Chains A and B, each alone.
Chain A
Amino acid sequence: MTPSISQSDTVILTRGLERSFTMGDSVIRALSGVDLTIRRGEYVAIMGPSGSGKSTLMNIIGCLDQPDAGEYWLNGTLVSNLGDADLAAVRNREIGFVFQTFNLLNRADALHNVELPLIYSGVPRRERVARATETLLQVGLGDRMHHRPSELSGGQRQRVAVARALVTRPSLLLADEPTGALDSTTAREIMGLFAELHAQGNTLVVVTHDAGVAAEAHRTVRLRDGRIESDTQNAEKATA
């Protein structure tokens, strides 16, 4: 499951993405023509004030939502016209989500939370447990595997969430304000983990309004009013 040699090293390719929502009588254009290309191994921050369309963009990139118009190619597959079951499979295999509020299952222990995506991809139990254990070790939670989320600190919970995102070896890690619910020390730890994952060759997209978080990325895409306002390389990081 290591990144295979594909025809292209492009992970995300969008062309003319449009998405609007109807709120009562008015129509809100959340995205109006977004063209974005992200290559394998990139570490990209998507920034923008609230209402800029960054959440909508993240939902579409994460295959949780479909654009009204335009195309979205993920790993060379056109996903913007897939049905529910196919889209679920894409989310399962290609995307690892990290949420601001962790979104762990409270009734399940850390190990089971990490196993969850593998359950939906039909991995046999033995292999599932092995991979979940390995991934938890990777994020430094080897001794917390049988703790429930309520028995873990915020940082530990987010590590479980990161392990859950990584366990399917997805082609894209998609984080939505991953440090939004953490104190600054813990936030730094998580950002350190992200830098490590990036160094290991993972493709990361972080949606944030925190400049400090964005500064960790190698490239920053700013949105405003549903369009890309700027797309800049972080010179200092890019060379690192």
Chain B
Amino acid sequence: MLFLEMILVALQSVRANLFRAILTMLGIIIGVASVITMVAIGTGARAAVDEQIEALGASVLNIRTGNFMRMGVAQSGATLTIGDAEALARDAATVEAVVPEAAQQLQVKFGAENRNLRIVGVTPNFAAVNSYTLAAGSLFTLADDSAKRPVAVLGNSVPAQLKTTREAMLGGTIYIKGIAFRVIGVLEEKGASGFRNVDEQVWIPLATAQFRVFGSDTLDNISAKVSPAVPVERAMVDIERVLRREHNLLPGKDNDFSIGDPRQFFNVRETAANIFAILLASIASISLIVGGIGIMNIMLVTVTERTREIGIRKALGATRFNILLQFIVEAMVLCLLGGTVGILLGTGVAALLSRVLGWSIVVSPTAIGVAFGFSAAVGLFFGIWPARKAARLDPIEALRYE
């Protein structure tokens, strides 16, 4: 009840000096709005990254021949073979599908244009495993592979690289190492993932690549798609077990292959989002501090202005603690009002950003709770000193104050 009176007095005081109160609250408003926007963007960015990981097939692991380090020296390991891929498909229970890949950077010629592109020999399931979709034409088949037919599927930007169009290339002939390949399909745009742009690759049947183009039966990479609902870490252990057996590695010997987790590439995206969040967090904390100092300043003014009122209240039976509490409550009311406006503003800015930038943005109740907590804490921290000053006023002098 006494507390209610304190809140009432605080609200009266805010109403009596409305403009001043708004100016005072500005720092808190900006601070809290930043916190809300920051958390909304952070949460949204994380959700977006999760979504992209899902879409880009993050559950595909890349197994490479090991260029591993031993005593500071890079060792070239054993090669990966089609046998390894078969063993994985057969024995690694956590793996749903396996794509053996052999790749080389080669000159591709179409008409008068030529270009150095990455040629990848793969089994026909490569598109399904990597979630690639066909934009036009068709994919090659198992029959194409076993017959070592010279057919090619192009990455989305390959026609542009060769200064032509998709339509002009489809059904046409490209020359790789002087061998004529018929273009049977073009993929949808995928975007750069990691350090490699798959849109600039050319896919051909693995057998064709190994026996007609590269002249080598070694693999550069095996893509292994992890079965649904299996943790990536478990699949990695499983793959390691099968390959160590295939490669006859004795216990204690290092792996001669490496298993790459593509999720690491997404860390870059997440880092960018984090940097943005840190930036906003610093704006938020600086404006909360500045706002808090503003609150403290105005509370000191208020205490001076209301010296006489403090004297009256003391004469009527208010204890030092009552007065202390009253002015802390007042500072907190200012901050919480500012916090409320800030939450509304922050939500508005977040909504605007999501519309303009197309980011997914999530305003969480936690963020609102945290923002409220911050405002209250600022009010408490910066309100204590002026309130103490008020509480310590001598009632006789306070009553005499003009």
Determine if chain A interacts with chain B.
Answer: yes
Write the residues of chain A forming the contact surface with B, with a CB cutoff of 8 angstroms: 59, 62, 64-65, 84-85, 88-89, 91-93, 97, 99, 103-105, 107, 116-117, 119-122, 124-125, 164, 168
Known contacts A119-B1, A120-B2; is-contact A64 B316 (Cβ 8 Å): no
Q: Please tell me which one of the listed residues B309, B322, B399 contacts residue A105 in the complex, with CB atoms under 8 A apart.
A: B309
Is B262 in the interface zone, CB < 8 Å from A? no
Given contacts A97-B315, A105-B312, A168-B317, list 11 more A-B pairs with CB under 8 A: A59-B396, A64-B395, A64-B399, A85-B320, A85-B321, A89-B317, A97-B316, A117-B316, A119-B2, A120-B317, A120-B318
Name the residue on B nearest A161 (C-beta): B312
Name the residue on B nearest A119 (C-beta): B5
Neighbouring A residues of B322 by C-beta, 8 Å: 88, 120
Known contacts A103-B308, A124-B1; is-contact A65 B396 (Cβ 8 Å): yes
Complex formed: what's the CA distance from A63 to B150 in Å? 107
Is B311 in the interface zone, CB < 8 Å from A? yes
- Report the minimum CB–CB distance from B349 to chain A (whole Å): 36
- Report the minimum CB–CB distance from A100 to chain B (whole Å): 10
B 315-348 contacts with A by CB, 8 A = 315-322
Neighbouring A residues of B396 by C-beta, 8 Å: 59, 64-65
Complex formed: what's the CA distance from A65 to B400 in Å? 14
Complex formed: what's the CA distance from A4 to B309 in Å? 33
- Report the minimum CB–CB distance from A155 to chain B (whole Å): 19
Neighbouring A residues of B399 by C-beta, 8 Å: 64, 99, 103
Complex formed: what's the CA distance from A117 to B2 in Å? 11
Query: Closest 5 A-B residue pairs measured CB to CB?
Result: A92-B317, A120-B317, A88-B319, A117-B316, A85-B319
Neighbouring B residues of A125 by C-beta, 8 Å: 1
17 contacts between A and B (CB under 8 A): A62-B315, A64-B396, A88-B314, A88-B317, A88-B319, A89-B317, A89-B319, A91-B314, A91-B317, A92-B317, A97-B315, A99-B399, A116-B313, A116-B316, A120-B317, A125-B1, A164-B316
Neighbouring A residues of B312 by C-beta, 8 Å: 103-105
Name the residue on B nearest A165 (C-beta): B316
Neighbouring B residues of A62 by C-beta, 8 Å: 315
Is B192 in the interface zone, CB < 8 Å from A? no
Contact, CB under 8 Å: A92 / B395: no
Is B12 in the interface zone, CB < 8 Å from A? yes
Complex formed: what's the CA distance from A122 to B317 in Å? 11
Contact, CB under 8 Å: B16 / A107: yes
Contact, CB under 8 Å: B16 / A88: no
Known contacts A103-B399, A119-B5, A120-B2; is-contact A84 B308 (Cβ 8 Å): no
Neighbouring B residues of A92 by C-beta, 8 Å: 316-317
Neighbouring B residues of A124 by C-beta, 8 Å: 1
Contact, CB under 8 Å: B315 / A107: no
Which interface class (under 10, 10 to 19, 20 to 34, 35 or more) fits B?
Answer: 20 to 34
Neighbouring A residues of B16 by C-beta, 8 Å: 107
Name the residue on A nearest B13 (C-beta): A107
Complex formed: what's the CA distance from A48 to B101 in Å? 110
Neighbouring A residues of B5 by C-beta, 8 Å: 119
Complex formed: what's the CA distance from A240 to B312 in Å? 35
- Report the minimum CB–CB distance from A28 to chain B (whole Å): 15
Neighbouring A residues of B317 by C-beta, 8 Å: 88-89, 91-93, 117, 120-121, 168
B313, B315, B318, B395, most chain A CB atoms within 10 A: B315
Known contacts A99-B399, A120-B2; is-contact A84 B319 (Cβ 8 Å): yes
Q: Please tell me which one of the listed residues B316, B320, B395 contacts residue A120 in the complex, with CB atoms under 8 A apart.
A: B316
Neighbouring B residues of A89 by C-beta, 8 Å: 317, 319
Neighbouring A residues of B309 by C-beta, 8 Å: 105
- Report the minimum CB–CB distance from A160 to chain B (whole Å): 12
- Report the minimum CB–CB distance from B16 to chain A (whole Å): 6
Complex formed: what's the CA distance from A174 to B159 in Å? 100
Neighbouring A residues of B321 by C-beta, 8 Å: 85
Name the residue on B nearest A103 (C-beta): B312
Contact, CB under 8 Å: A122 / B2: yes
- Report the minimum CB–CB distance from B301 to chain A (whole Å): 16
Complex formed: what's the CA distance from A153 to B13 in Å? 24
Complex formed: what's the CA distance from A88 to B391 in Å? 12
Neighbouring B residues of A107 by C-beta, 8 Å: 12-13, 16
Neighbouring B residues of A117 by C-beta, 8 Å: 316-317
Neighbouring B residues of A59 by C-beta, 8 Å: 396
Neighbouring A residues of B315 by C-beta, 8 Å: 62, 64, 91, 97, 103
Name the residue on A nearest B12 (C-beta): A107
- Report the minimum CB–CB distance from A141 to chain B (whole Å): 18
Complex formed: what's the CA distance from A116 to B318 in Å? 10
Neighbouring A residues of B308 by C-beta, 8 Å: 103
Q: Digit string of B377-402 for contact with A (CB within 8 Å is 1, else 0)?
A: 00000000000000000011001000
Name the residue on A nearest B308 (C-beta): A103
Name the residue on B nearest A168 (C-beta): B317
Name the residue on B nearest A93 (C-beta): B317
Known contacts A103-B312, A105-B309; is-contact A88 B318 (Cβ 8 Å): yes
Complex formed: what's the CA distance from A119 to B316 in Å? 10
Neighbouring A residues of B13 by C-beta, 8 Å: 107
- Report the minimum CB–CB distance from A133 to chain B (whole Å): 18
Neighbouring A residues of B316 by C-beta, 8 Å: 91-92, 97, 116-117, 120, 164
- Report the minimum CB–CB distance from A27 to chain B (whole Å): 18
- Report the minimum CB–CB distance from B142 to chain A (whole Å): 86
Known contacts A64-B315, A103-B399, A105-B309; is-contact A84 B320 (Cβ 8 Å): yes
